[in-house]
Structure 1
Amino acid sequence: MLAFTGSRLDRADNVRADPDALAGMMGWRARLLALEGLMPGMDDSGALAWGSLADADPDTELVFLGLDEGKPCFAAVPPRGDASPRMANPAVWQAMASLRADDLAIYGGARSIVDWHARHRFCAQCGGGTRMAKGGWQRDCTQCGTSHFPRTDPVTIMLVEHDGRLMLGRGKGWGEGRFSALAGFVEPGESIEEAVAREVLEESGVAVRDVTYVASQPWPFPSQLMIGCHAHADDDAIRVDETELAEVRWFSRDEVTQALAGDGPFVRPPDQAIATHLLKWWSKT
């Protein structure tokens, strides 16, 4: 199972859309996810920590996350969103590695939604203040009435194959020897296949064909959907876009297998990243 997938929560859309039903959920059985800003609180067993709604500041907005075995679950919106570089906090990696899969999925979803609220307190249409609606799955402008919805940014992340070898790249600022799959945001007016082809061409100078989907993963930093793909190249001549990448190389199947085992010519991505899932999938095909 990919990290941040497999949440046990029932999102209960029927409750979100019914103000009376939602208000009825905010009683003694309701649980509040313990967050320190955007970092998860954990109990002595290493699981997500939960409190009651009495633990929340009365002026804080609360997002309805869903039902856990019938128990309503909420999370509080922090004063500020996450403006730091993606994954800049080492404590995030530690939490990702220690939380069990279903807890990590709940945390990922909660982090994305409360971060969105913290960064969207004003209307993009007129600049007026916004207020929470539908249990936190919508914000409405108090001036012009425009409705805003939590966003998810699609990102293609792709393995490019040529003659039994795999193209991987090293990002600027990454440690020496650390490689991963190429990736980039899907732009307006693009299909997934077109985004894969454009990003690979831009970053490596290599044209690709026969793009296929492999798997996807929500990535809450701040709110992306990683769309894992595979493509073929007819030419292996690389021209690196040095504004984005420090290095792009081809690796054999044996080299990828060795790296996955921790003893290869490059350092593989973390277990929680979809890139590692893609490498494992490719090594077995």
Structure 2
Amino acid sequence: SSDIDKSRGRVYLLEGNLYYSPNSSRDILVPKTIPEGTNIFSPPRKNDGRLDYWSLDVASYLTPQWWTMQFGWLAFLDLSPTESAKEILRPTHIILHSHYSYPSLSPPLPRTFGYRSSHRTPRRLETALQKSWEWFSLWLALTSYSIACAQTHAEYFRSYPTLARIDWVNLLISQGSKFNIDLQWVDTLITSEPPNTVEMERFFELRKERNIRIIAKESPKDQQRRLSREKQPPTISARVFEWTPNALGEYECDEIDKRERADALGERDEDECRYDAVQNEWHICALWGRPKEGISDELQ
């Protein structure tokens, strides 16, 4: 369709078959086929027979999967989640699933990984919080899929009033009170929007144009300095800026104090940090990558 933006798409040749994605240019591998009846959230057992939930890793669900009825909702999984979520995500899904009867298998609850439990050491607590936070993203994806199914159902039966069911907004409000689901929570689901990166993108477009002009006029000595910085980017002398959303949801940057530059860069995943050798600046943004794993040696 001419209305689809295909500028960021990509064609893949995988095992002799051509695949096309209109909105992703990531390098991918052919995913393993999921045998029918398999629950991809079912953990293996330890030597003592207990289920090893800690062996489950959200990262394994971020890569493309073969579509199935039970796990098709994984397509809604955000690659860079930036929002936390409440435990009422589960009852939200239960209410919608019971009413609209769409196929899906739920992932383990975030509390399975211990964020509500007591821990003997700060390291264990940190690991539990990190792991639990990651699994909230799966429940956000499942909730998004649930709402999409509800909206599709409403659209499909619009011409058949006798078959139509209550819309999902009124359904959650009428049945969700015992789960602390209120109008404010439903409004949050309705008004959730993707991050506003217009100004940030504009900044980097102008920066790219400026750098091209600078490179065209730089002296051999300046060129050598720039190339040296590209090979080994400095982490203390270079200025560091972090892009975060303001109160309106628009991404803007703030400079990090010189004393905290190295720590700020060291705490982030490489994908979140971008170095500009022309300006000798670092820019950090959580949207560009995922937080580092905080896996404790005690739990491995």
Who wins on radius of gyration, i.e. which is larger? 2
Higher RCO, Cα 8 Å, sep 6+? 1
TM range (shorter): under 0.3
TM-score when scaled to structure 1? 0.27
Between Structure 1 and Structure 2, which shows a larger proportion of strand residues?
1
